[in-house]
Amino acid sequence: MDFTTTWADRAAELRTADGVPERLVWHAREYRVTDEPTRIEDALGTLLTHPLPVRGWRFQGTSDAAAETLVFDLLWCDGGWRVIRTYR
């Protein structure tokens, strides 16, 4: 899997319903969440003996405008959502 995100392009706007991601705005594109989002902290919890103080999501998003589908890893840091990594 190729990853495409650099540290300079991390800022994102996450739109949720009942706390679960529905849409993501990143690089002036809107992505619709097209799978079941997974909490990053839940995924890490299966590997660790105690939870880390992280908050984030992994999900697949599809841009209607560009017909592009990516998997996103997002973390909450410095008062905003940051795209940590994307996968094609």
pLDDT tens sequence across 4-53: 544 455 789 999 999 999 999 998 899 999 999 999 876 655 566 666 66
28 occurs within a structural domain: yes
Residue 19 maps to a domain:
yes
Q: Does residue 1 sit within a domain?
A: no
Residue 61 confidence (pLDDT):
97
pTM metric for this prediction: 0.79
Residue 52 buriedness (CB in 10 A; 0-12 / 13-18 / 19+):
exposed
pLDDT score of 11: 86
Number of domains the chain is built from: 1
Q: Give a yes or no: residue 2 inside a domain.
A: no
Structural domain containing residue 40: 7-87
- Whether residue 45 is contained in a domain is answered as yes
* Average pLDDT score over residue span 56-66: 92
